[in-house]
Amino acid sequence: DQQVKQNSPSLSVQEGRISILNCDYTNSMFDYFLWYKKYPAEGPTFLISISSIKDKNEDGRFTVFLNKSAKHLSLHIVPSQPGDSAVYFCAASWAGTASKLTFGTGTRLQVTL
């Protein structure tokens, strides 16, 4: 049972345009959501997060939106840069679980020139 889903395995965007990566979840107990970025042969690195008490969190070119009623979150990257080409994982956690993360399957973003 995949509690966190990233239905788009890959996404290609031109440099300078907006990249939108989507994530859906099924467990209503999740109250904290994170995005990780992963380059080949490296470990995932934390990018941005959002608490369920918010609907938006912004950090430079990265913005995460949360729609609790739809159990959906998205990561917007504006403007996209070639260095953003990586695999992006959505993850979720909830209190009382040792902050264990449940990961989605990832979306590979390619930013083209």
Partner 1 sequence: NAGVTQTPKFRVLKTGQSMTLLCAQDMNHEYMYWYRQDPGMGLRLIHYSVGEGTTAKGEVPDGYNVSRLKKQNFLLGLESAAPSQTSVYFCASSYSTVHPNIQYFGAGTRLSVL
Binding site for partner 1 (CB under 8 A): 4, 6, 9, 31-32, 34, 36, 41-46, 49, 51, 89, 93-101, 103-106
Number of H helices, E strands in the chain: 0, 11
Query: CB of 94: closest distance to partner 1 in angstroms?
Result: 8
Q: What whole-number distance in Å separates Cα of residue 113 and Cα of residue 99?
A: 39
Query: CB of 9: closest distance to partner 1 in angstroms?
Result: 8
Cβ proximity to partner 1: between 17 and 56 the closer is 56
CA–centroid distance for 111 within its chain: 16
Cβ proximity to partner 1: between 49 and 110 the closer is 49
